[in-house]
Structure 1
């Protein structure tokens, strides 16, 4: 029987064997490096899980699924340059290990190699796949630009933030699920349900990231808890706190936001207490549940035998319950 674990193992094997190019080494080594850093690989996994609903020959979706992951890592390589991030998955970012120019150029080649991985798609499907891939890629860029715009604003609303993470994160998950169905013969109504499931799960996933950064277990989360608070990153939690805080809560929150010299642990503890007092955690958890329920409802409505949907159901529940 197909399981998420089996498909993930197949993906890991395929990535370990895949070659992106050889010469010049300075161009291709960074690609191999960032792809070797791992990550959850759940975007291509969603494509394979979706394909396995409609066919036992899910291997036909393997290379297109890999294209989704290569594209995702291309965006990470360029995002790290824009954010001047020193680490990615606990290791030096490409622009730190090499330099920014190399990271830009290697990222460009990654995008090209993502298209290479789509070349084996059946000709009658190629036009639609490329149109959806291109639309999704443009939306991811739109989301990144909005995220950068928000860095200069302190009046970002909840609706604006949710739209930004929808574009930057969720549309790619929607496309990943839609792609599996598209490659294996799902009808238009089913494709729309698959996309809705992925998009809503993506929203829940990103909001869960925001929540875990503040309230996660450091031993499980894999990075410093409170990092978003330290850097004043505009997350769902901070935006909600700014919209709710009054009196001393408002004064204290603005103090920590504007403080130039501070003890990191003290700031994290102080802002976390404000979040707790304003019930931000409970509200965020409710929002996360709403999005995951929408995703699960979309899968529930998918006209396919329940037995074929079990592996995807299993994986979705892992996403819902994750603590890291």
Structure 2
């Protein structure tokens, strides 16, 4: 069986369980949006990692399901609230919750999802429950911090590369790392191995987000799920942008700053001009190097873990498939 088949198998098992547990009742206006956002699909990367890690450490997939569900529920809660903050009309190609219902419904249904996330841990024995909820609370708070950094960066002109990396670590990669560590906790892995798998997920998560930054500018419009050039249109200070400011000629720096101070009705020329600066400044190479570097750090953490070779290979190939993606 190929790795893609194995990952699809985890996904199918998870979605079946999700549909079974997602039979929420009254009031409809609270729970319908929850069902709606969870049914929109997505890659289900985080819960798959929880299940995969649990099984890698000798645990049962069924036993890890509630932890995986907590991670997926939390992730989707954060999307509902992010979409409100960004006033986004679409999520995964479908109408966002606050557009389909209204902002108040989006806030309240999101709140309910956060609480439901914690309830899924209640099926575990006390010691496991305490470990899972401690990790989860720490992670949830970091995600909020990452989101605030992201908001702050919009109005700051002095964002540094280390600050940006910290922002994406908190906003994106800590949840990937926690998803994996939860799988290890549920499977009663050794503390040092649970910590190492967290490092694997954390570094992979940063590489994943940097790859996302790259694909946003240079991805194939046919395969990339979002609008190519969206970050540039929104004047988002991504790794590509920050590295360009660091390395470009004075004229290009000034040009870039000007382009990032405007939002024209037709952004086509702006997007192309910015992409040219990204390429000529060497920022594209720098970004690819950073993606490679964080991927390598992830694999170094994985190498330290005592796991059957088959499990290590599967986790490594999953990491590699994330880095080679075009979507």
The match for 1:34 is 37
The SS at the match of 1:219 is coil
The SS at the match of 1:117 is helix
1:20 to partner: Cα distance: 5.2
The match for 1:249 is 252
Structure 1 length-normalised TM: 0.96
Q: Distance in 2 between matches of 1:122 and 1:25?
A: 32
Contact 1:4 1:314 in 2 (8 A): no
Indicate the larger mover: 111-120 or 279-288: 111-120
Q: Distance in 1 between matches of 2:301 and 2:39?
A: 34
The SS at the match of 2:75 is helix
The match for 1:157 is 160
The total of aligned residue pairs comes to 324
The match for 1:94 is 97
Q: 1:210 aligns with which of 200, 208, 213?
A: 213
Contact 2:247 2:282 in 1 (8 A): no
Contact 1:54 1:181 in 2 (8 A): yes
1:124 to partner: Cα distance: 2.2
1:27-74 CA-to-partner distances (Å, cap 9, x unmatched) read 111111111111111101111111011225221001111110100000
Please show how residues 157-306 of structure 1 align to structure 2 within 5 Å: 157-261=160-264, 263-306=266-309
Q: Distance in 1 between matches of 2:33 and 2:133?
A: 26
Cα distance 1:260–1:7, how it changes in 2: closer, same or farther (>3 A)? closer
1:226-258 CA-to-partner distances (Å, cap 9, x unmatched) read 111111011111122222333321232122122
Q: Distance in 2 between matches of 1:261 and 1:53?
A: 50
Gaps of 5+ in 1: none
Gaps of 5+ in 2: none
The match for 2:80 is 77
Q: What is the RMSD computed on CA atoms of the aligned residues?
A: 1.4
The match for 1:68 is 71
Segments ≥4 residues shifted beyond 6 Å: none
Please show how residues 119-134 of structure 1 align to structure 2 within 5 Å: 119-134=122-137
Indicate the larger mover: 233-242 or 162-171: 233-242
